[in-house]
Structure 1
Amino acid sequence: MSSVYNNKPRILPASAPPSQIAHYTGPQAAAEPDELLPMQHYMWLLRRAWWKIALFVVTCTALTAVACFLMTPVYEATVRLAVDSKVPASVIGQDSATPNISDVEEFLTTEIDLLQSDAVLRPVAKAYHLLPRDKKGKEFLPAGSVTLPGLTITHPASSLLLKITYRSKDPRKAADVANAVAHSYIDEAMDMRLHSSMNLSGFMAKQLDDLKANMDKSAEALTTYQRQLGVIDPEQQTSILSARVAQLNSEYTEAENDRIRKQTAYQGVKSGNASAIDISTQAEQLTRLQQQMQDAEQAMAIVQTHYGPNNANYKVAANTLAEVTREYQAARDNTGRRIQTDFAQADTREKMLAATLAAAKAQSDALSLKSLEYQQLKRDADANKTLYNELFQKIKEAGINSGFQNSSIRIADEARPQNAPVFPKKGIFIFIGFFLSGVIAVAATLLSDMMDKSVRDPEQARRSLQVEVLGILPDVLQLKPAGRQLLLKSGSDVPAPVAGKQPLDWSRTQDAYTEAIRTMRSLVLLERTREKLRSVQVTSAVAGEGKSTCTAHLAIAHAMQGRKTLLIDADLRRPSQHNHFSLPNEEGLADVIMDGRSLADVLHTIEGIENLHVVTAGASAMRAAHLVGNKMAALLTDAEQDYDLVLIDTPPMLGLAEPIQIACSVDGVLLITQAGETNQDAVAAAIGTLNRLDVRILGLVLNKVRREMSSTYQHFGVYGQYDERVLNAS
């Protein structure tokens, strides 16, 4: 058990405390676990660590400034190239009216790559001795492409500019190299264009010879064919024949129609059809004779009714009828012969036209076949001639365009030596160093506070441990033994100011500690919401928290109020109350437990404090440590009959059994923790143990609080000023 007691848990180092809060006048309600820290807390952290932050910022800024002044300055020069997207590719020809650039962005990307090509950079590197050097410092040509480390090519957005920027330690060299790269690029572009035009001209010259031979051959074939045909222009002859065939075809059609019409009339006459004669050309004469014959017949009929055959009138009428009938029959016979003759002539004409048309068609077809071959030969000759003329024109245009030195990219602004270096930017670097160091310092301050898991101030303890904070005890420079009379007199420990010396901080004096003890005593014992406390256990989570000192001063403060107080040193493993009060330790609580003696036999009175009795641990304390917990309840029952308050100083809660047993026998437990040292987990474990036993936890007391730990500690200075005014007035 003793080994556990002596092994104090590892405590994280103290860091920044929480926010400012008012002076504690009573218990505080527990906060929600997820309550956030107020902004004032972080502001207090920064104010507390301002000199560390300032020192870090000043140091980093100074180092940045020194580094900037030690750096070799680098100068930058920039050449601006303007791109004209509307410049034609050629001075003459079809391309003379077409812009040289169709896609500007694609063109600029290509030109940026060309600007960084070996063909452009190698001449510049040679001229300005920018080639790589070997171990002996001699320049050598690399096997791959030449690059210039200080060269950058950029294209500003929404513009038709290219920027060639070069950096060097020499401002003149930076400008010269940038200008040289621009001129090398333009010269290389011109050379590429000239070589391309010359190669194109040479290629087209070879093709021109072949085309000329083909053109002469096709022209000779066309002439030979014309001689064979015997006509200069077969196409014209073909047109004439085509017109003749069309005319013959029309005449043949008319003759055929005429022959059919006359053949029909002839067939009608031949068959005795009178209607066929009626459609002939003699139809009018026959109609007239037929009418005369009918008139004669009517006259004959009349005469026959009146006269006989021997009558002269009868004979005249008969002769007239006979004459008219003969003329009609002769005319009709003559018309039949005429129709036959017309038919024969029409048939003969039709046959002649058919023969003539067939001959003309045959001649036209033969000439058409030859015309097709002639047209093919002529097209070949014309095509070869046209191609030859076009190629010859292209060669002439290429020769002229090759000497055309226009370019879509030109130098708009040459580089000039600059007076101010671009690196290092001293003002910017120093500002960045100042800003970053400030950010790092602030972040480190806040991070260290967040990583600090120790109990530091009441607000943080209330929030993280869910327990009330009843007292804040300052870290006194030289805490005197509790039994001395000087401790009990308010203001007696404050020395008078000495001229030329820094005034003593009252918050680090014994009087400040005494005032804190009295405040804590009032908060613990004057609470009216619950029954009156008769026994209080004072303990801590781990050893070294100052619980014994706190218990001794709390006992004195309560006794000074005229209350009978008993202080029992139940820390039998490491007793200390006999040292605080300069008492002998031969007899004590161990004798009561081991030998069955009464408390009255081992009581010690304190000189100058009437109402305070102390029971020390005793010489054989270690042997009685495992028994004190079982017998404490009976001892407290007897002691509470004679005393207003019994204070029990016990070992730490963690790792030992007796403080847990004693806690079940007292009216309340007061936990002491050292601010900035005790880990929250240790205090939380002790509180958890007491909660599981359903023990009444009076609250938490923060011991050895320093001004830099918490803004809550500032109120002690007010009391110091008040005491100083009282002393000065007296």
Structure 2
Amino acid sequence: MDTSLSSLPLALRRRLLPALATFTSVIGGAIAYLVVTAPVYQVKARLMLDNKKVSVSELGRNLSQVPANTPGGANPIATQAELVGSERVLERALDEIAILGSSQEGLTIDTLREDLKVKIVPATNILELSYQGQNPELATTVLNAIANAMVSESAEGIRSEAKAVREFLEKEVPLRRLEVAAAEAALNKFKQTSGLVSPEEQTQLLVRSLATLEDQERAVSIQLQDAKTRSQELQTITSLNNTQNAYIAGRIGQDQELQALRAQLVNLDRELAKMRSRLTDQNPAVISLVQERYELLTLYNQKLSRLLPTNQPTNQIIPPGDVASDQLSQDFTSRFILAETERSVLEQKLYLVQTERIKLQNRLGQIPVLGQPFATLVRRQDEAIASLKLLQNKLEEARIAEAQLVNNIQIIERAKLPSSPKEPNPKVVLVIATAAGIALAVGMVLLLEVMDNTLNDASEAEALLKLPRLGVLPKIPAQALSLKQPNRFLADMRLIEPYRLLLTTMELRAQKRLQLIVVSSAVSGEGKSVVASHLAAVSARFSRRTLIIDGDWRHPMQHYFFGLPPQPKVTDVIDSNQTWLEAVQPTAITNLSILTCSELPSGSATFLQSQVMKSILAAAADHYDLVIVDTPPVSSFADAHSLSRYSDGLVIVTRPNFTQKNILLQTVSELKDSSTPILGFVVNGISDRTQQYYSDSFDSYQPQSQFRQTHGNEASNNNCALISRGVDHGDS
């Protein structure tokens, strides 16, 4: 079965009846459930364990504050969830229901607990209360009473805690006042004796300054190391040992007059080297060049002395070859000067930072000596004052919290009268039933597709065989099966156009005009004989001299289609009783002839593989424009294998909802293994929907008179009935 999504609509169309039955059964069961089930109403309310500071006093806010949820400790929201179902809260709710005058028949603490559900909304401090019953008004009243009881219980708990705190603070405040007075006296005495005012601020200032200097020292050290590295690298490249020489080399390299003198010296050195290679040093020419070079070098040094600083010794004049004469050397010289300058600046800066850091460290070491006792006294005073103020504030807050109505439970959503029952919910039930019905219907279709081994359509055959699809042929009516009266077939454009398209497609795929083709099928009953005969009729209809050879010795059908006797037959030619041209019979169709065959025993069927049969096929292909050979089924007999070797190729006929896929696939595999030339496959007997498409398409092109003639006479004669019975039980 092709399990791709694209094939699912076709499968649903084929299996529409069982799919509808499955879907209808599921929907019917859902409707029956809705009819017999009694309605149950559910109401909901929401409480929030409030973190908002709703109290006027800080103590009231703290008492109403939700404690943090610590690992391994109590969960506040879970505690409140358990408190909802406690006996104390439910009794308070029953009392409120009695005050409201509602009926309490059947309401007890146990029944309330059974129908009451508490849910903690994830990741929140919200409790969702739900209560269900058959009376929607009573359920709404009960749930609102439980919510009010939770709020009242929370307020009473907070008020009792505030009272206990007030009584404790009223005893502690006088004692704290005495401690504050003693701490103030001790601090004032120390200030008078030591003169220290604020050691903490001074210490913090020195620490910040020291940290800043240490950061600067580290940064300057890193920068200095980088500058030294650059300077050493540039010194290696330029061979300069100080910035003064680098500056002089740069100025000399940029002087144009010195550049010209250096060029002349280079030329003289080159010429002197050539002369010395040929002459001795005592030669007048060599002596003259040496003298000229000396004078030029003297002039160069004189020009150079004008550029040198006044303190530069004459014996340290830079030779012409060591100056920065090109752009690259000048660039490196400039970088060397900058690197050396930067290094000197950073060394001086590092020295200053280190000196200042040492001073701050010395000053910082003196402060703890006097600051420690001062800090102790100040801390005692601050602690005493802070403790006194805290207790005084808490005392006022406790008095306010005790008098004020404070709670940490808030009703954020009250129960409302439900408009529809919770169970059963018709929309939900029908949606689930629809989804389940669709899923089961699709599953039923897929199961039937898996169990069905027959070929369904042309697309499935093409995907299964991996062969070219040559054509899709319509199912031929009974009155058009017989070609004894060919106009019943040839006059109907809906029938002949698919065959003409098949013939054209085969030649286009073969890229030549076909002369000899073999038509067969995997098993009997797929309509190969009908396809062969009617394809031959269409070929002859379009002025091609055509011969059809009936090679199906097991069940010959061609002479029935054309209303001819089975004699003379092809075996007569094999037995040399007459020539093949003498055995050929004309038909009622112009340009179409037939060489018939009669049913033979299995042992006499080897004639199709003889050399005489090969000669007959070759001669027929030379004599006719097209020769079509009808052979026995491929899966049962080897005749199609043998005859296809002498032809332009084999055409395999398949039939939807009849051809077994495993047999067809095995047949094609055997043909490929034996190197049998296969032109492709044909789908014979298309569905009514596709046949209607052909009918509509061709009717739009036919003249009205021809359309009436085509559809006017549906009767068939006795010969057509005989052929129809033979096709139904044989090779339809």
Residue in structure 1 matched with residue 593 of structure 2 by the alignment: 613
- Alignment CA distance shift 1:551-1:622 (3 Å): same
AA matched with 1:706? S
Give the secondary structure class of the aligned counterpart of 2:704. Answer: helix
Residue in structure 2 matched with residue 170 of structure 1 by the alignment: 135
Residue in structure 2 matched with residue 103 of structure 1 by the alignment: 67
Q: Distance in 1 between matches of 2:578 and 2:149?
A: 112
Aligned counterpart for 2:645 among listed residues 641, 660, 664: 664
AA matched with 1:418? P
Q: Distance in 2 between matches of 1:644 and 1:176?
A: 98
Q: Distance in 2 between matches of 1:54 and 1:588?
A: 54
Shift of 1:59: 8.5
Q: Deviations over 1:641-673 (max 9, x none)?
A: 544332211122224322212222223211211
Aligned counterpart for 2:523 among listed residues 537, 542, 551: 542
- How does 1:544-693 map onto structure 2 within 5 Å? 544-585=525-566, 588-590=569-571, 593=574, 595=575, 597-598=577-578, 600=580, 603=583, 605-631=585-611, 632-679=613-660, 682-693=663-674
AA matched with 2:597? A
AA matched with 2:626? L
1:714 has 2:693 as partner: yes
AA matched with 1:175? T
Residue in structure 2 matched with residue 485 of structure 1 by the alignment: 485
Shift of 1:179: 3.5
Q: Deviations over 1:207-235 (max 9, x none)?
A: xxxxxxxxxxxxxxxxxxxxxxxxxxxxx
Q: Distance in 2 between matches of 1:578 and 1:600?
A: 16
Q: Distance in 2 between matches of 1:570 and 1:438?
A: 51
Shift of 1:110: 2.3
Give the secondary structure class of the aligned counterpart of 1:485. Answer: coil
Shift of 1:445: 7.5
Residue in structure 2 matched with residue 725 of structure 1 by the alignment: 704
- Alignment CA distance shift 1:467-1:419 (3 Å): closer
Give the secondary structure class of the aligned counterpart of 2:47. Answer: strand
Q: Deviations over 1:507-565 (max 9, x none)?
A: xxx652233223323444588833x4332110112322100111111222233344443
Residue in structure 2 matched with residue 476 of structure 1 by the alignment: 476
AA matched with 1:76? Q
Shift of 1:114: 0.9
- How does 1:265-344 map onto structure 2 within 5 Å? none
Residue in structure 2 matched with residue 328 of structure 1 by the alignment: none
Q: Distance in 1 between matches of 2:603 and 2:637?
A: 15
Aligned counterpart for 2:501 among listed residues 501, 513, 519: 519
AA matched with 2:131? Y
CA-atom RMSD in angstroms? 5.6
- How does 1:108-127 map onto structure 2 within 5 Å? 108-115=76-83, 117=85, 119=87
Residue in structure 1 matched with residue 41 of structure 2 by the alignment: 75
1:540–1:673 contact (8 Å) kept in structure 2: yes
1:421 has 2:421 as partner: yes
- How does 1:194-213 map onto structure 2 within 5 Å? none
Q: Distance in 1 between matches of 2:482 and 2:585?
A: 13
1:591–1:620 contact (8 Å) kept in structure 2: no
Q: Give % identity.
A: 23
After TM superposition, the score normalised by the length of structure 2 is: 0.50
- How does 1:431-442 map onto structure 2 within 5 Å? none
1:590–1:617 contact (8 Å) kept in structure 2: yes
2:571–2:607 contact (8 Å) kept in structure 1: no
1:152–1:165 contact (8 Å) kept in structure 2: yes
1:559–1:611 contact (8 Å) kept in structure 2: yes
After TM superposition, the score normalised by the length of structure 1 is: 0.50
2:554–2:632 contact (8 Å) kept in structure 1: yes
Give the secondary structure class of the aligned counterpart of 1:476. Answer: coil
Give the secondary structure class of the aligned counterpart of 1:148. Answer: helix
Instruction: Give the stretch that moved more between structures: 170-179 or 459-468.
Output: 459-468
Residue in structure 1 matched with residue 213 of structure 2 by the alignment: none
Q: Distance in 2 between matches of 1:608 and 1:445?
A: 48
Q: Distance in 2 between matches of 1:670 and 1:457?
A: 17
Q: Deviations over 1:445-491 (max 9, x none)?
A: 89988998865555665555343322221123435333231445644
Q: Deviations over 1:394-432 (max 9, x none)?
A: 9xxx9xx99999653365665343333344444565566
Give the secondary structure class of the aligned counterpart of 2:481. Answer: coil
- Alignment CA distance shift 1:60-1:606 (3 Å): farther
- Alignment CA distance shift 1:181-1:190 (3 Å): same
Instruction: Give the stretch that moved more between structures: 551-560 or 109-118.
Output: 109-118
2:150–2:409 contact (8 Å) kept in structure 1: no
Q: Distance in 2 between matches of 1:175 and 1:526?
A: 81
Structure exhibiting the larger radius of gyration computed from Cα positions: 1
Q: Deviations over 1:689-712 (max 9, x none)?
A: 3334443322322111124369xx
1:121–1:147 contact (8 Å) kept in structure 2: no
Q: Distance in 1 between matches of 2:87 and 2:645?
A: 94
- How does 1:499-510 map onto structure 2 within 5 Å? none
Q: Distance in 1 between matches of 2:524 and 2:80?
A: 75
1:564–1:643 contact (8 Å) kept in structure 2: yes
2:44–2:415 contact (8 Å) kept in structure 1: yes
**Unaligned 5+ runs, structure 1:** 1-11, 17-35, 129-137, 205-393, 492-509
AA matched with 1:517? Y
2:93–2:149 contact (8 Å) kept in structure 1: no
Q: Deviations over 1:1-27 (max 9, x none)?
A: xxxxxxxxxxx7xx99xxxxxxxxxxx
Q: Distance in 1 between matches of 2:59 and 2:703?
A: 102
Structure with greater helix share of residues: 2
**Unaligned 5+ runs, structure 2:** 97-105, 169-394, 710-732
Q: Distance in 2 between matches of 1:162 and 1:87?
A: 19
Q: Distance in 2 between matches of 1:617 and 1:125?
A: 102
Q: Distance in 1 between matches of 2:698 and 2:39?
A: 61
Shift of 1:111: 2.9
- Alignment CA distance shift 1:151-1:527 (3 Å): closer
Give the secondary structure class of the aligned counterpart of 1:640. Answer: helix
Shift of 1:177: 3.5
Shift of 1:171: 0.4
Q: Distance in 2 between matches of 1:606 and 1:55?
A: 55
Q: Distance in 1 between matches of 2:468 and 2:65?
A: 82
1:481–1:581 contact (8 Å) kept in structure 2: no
Q: Distance in 1 between matches of 2:402 and 2:651?
A: 104
Structure with the larger RCO, 1 or 2 (CA within 8 Å, 6+ apart): 1
Shift of 1:186: 6.5
2:655–2:683 contact (8 Å) kept in structure 1: yes
AA matched with 1:417? L
Q: Distance in 1 between matches of 2:115 and 2:556?
A: 77
Shift of 1:169: 2.5
- Alignment CA distance shift 1:121-1:58 (3 Å): farther
Q: Distance in 1 between matches of 2:88 and 2:633?
A: 83
- Alignment CA distance shift 1:642-1:621 (3 Å): farther
1:124–1:177 contact (8 Å) kept in structure 2: no
Give the secondary structure class of the aligned counterpart of 1:705. Answer: coil
Q: Distance in 2 between matches of 1:518 and 1:686?
A: 27
